[in-house]
Amino acid sequence: MTFLEKLLEASRRNRSWLCVGLDPDPESLPTSLKERENPVREFCRQIIGATRDLVCAYKPNIAFFEVLGESGWPTLKEVIDSVPDDVPVILDAKRGDIGNTARMYAQAYFQGLGVDAVTVNPYMGKDSITPFLEYEDRTAFILCLTSNPSSADFQQRELGDKPLYHEVASMANLLNRDGNCGLVVGATRPEQLRPLRQLCPDLPFLIPGVGTQGGDLESAVKYGSDREGNLAIINVSRAILYASKEKDFAESAGEKAESFREQINLFRRSKVSSPV
């Protein structure tokens, strides 16, 4: 089963285009976990347990595991293994290096960790992306228009009559021969989502920035999804993970995730009834 097939099946089964980002900041974990042998692992496992029937995917951010030092890689692997087999995992790594090095990254993530997709940085060109695309059943989400405030420093620079991020999107279309490319497009850029979706009608969009970063959920769904209201993977991290820092943190995360799922579905239905 390819990543896209697994994603569509999880979305259909759970009625969801919500992706929960797993960003376990050790300083933000509930105090009730601080004395556990591995509080990060326990936190993520409980979050997954409370949200597993509400999501289309999970997105662990590798930085929050690398910071743990020598325990980080095994903790990340254990967290990934905790995700149900029928829910895809998108590793947020943002890697981008010369071909031979990119090949090692792809092997580490797809074979070593067993993830279904990974975020990649296109700054060094297509030879930094193609090693990830050699895994035809996995997907590479290419950073296109990110949600951070200074993304405009480069991504929105004009190249002739187009911004740079349009060139990235066009390259993704060309690289999508095996149907395993996607784009990362931030919810904090709603005015650019619509033309990008028109340019790339068939690519899945990973859309971070909803919640704590202030991205507009309705615009993310309305302009980021395809004609059927699909292929917009709405990532929410901190607003779900830290809905509570008390002992009920997992239950609160589940309630918050369900609320986001229902809002997303409401906007999807609105889009399908009144397509943009």
| Residue 11 belongs to some domain of the structure | yes
In this structure, is residue 265 part of a structural domain? yes
pTM: 0.96
226-240 average pLDDT score? 95
- Residue range 55-98, pLDDT digits in tens: 999 999 999 999 999 999 999 999 999 999 999 999 999 999 99
pLDDT tens digit sequence for 235-249: 999 999 999 999 999
Q: Is the predicted pLDDT of residue 276 greater than 60, yes or no? A: no
Per-residue pLDDT averaged across 121-125, rounded?
95
From the candidates 77, 94, 126, 245, give the one annotated as an active-site residue: 94
Residue 214 has pLDDT above 80, yes or no: no
Please give the pLDDT value at position 212.
Answer: 67
DSSP labels, 89-149: BEEEEEE---HHHHHHHHIIIIIII--SEEEE--TT-GGGTHHHHTSTTSEEEEEEE-SSG
DSSP 6-48: HHHHHHHHHT--EEEEE---GGGS-GGGTTSSSHHHHHHHHHH
Would you state the pLDDT for residue 13?
98
- Residue 119's pLDDT is what? 98
Q: Is the pLDDT of residue 161 over 90?
A: no
pLDDT at 159 over 90: no
Domain tally, the chain:
1
Note whether 168 and 142 are within 8 A (CB).
yes
CATH number of domain containing 145: 3.20.20.70
Q: What is the mean pLDDT of residues 221-245?
A: 95
Domain region containing 266:
3-161+168-271
CA distance 108 to 185: 25
Q: Is residue 145 part of a domain?
A: yes
Active site residue 94: yes
Confidence (pLDDT) at 263: 97
Q: In the predicted model, is pLDDT for residue 48 greater than 70?
A: yes
Residue 222 lies in a domain: yes
Band of the pLDDT at 190, cuts 50, 70, 90?
confident
Is the residue at 16 inside a domain?
yes
Of 88, 126, 127, the C-alpha closest to 110 is 88
Share of the chain above pLDDT 70, in %: 97
Decide if 276 is inside a domain: no
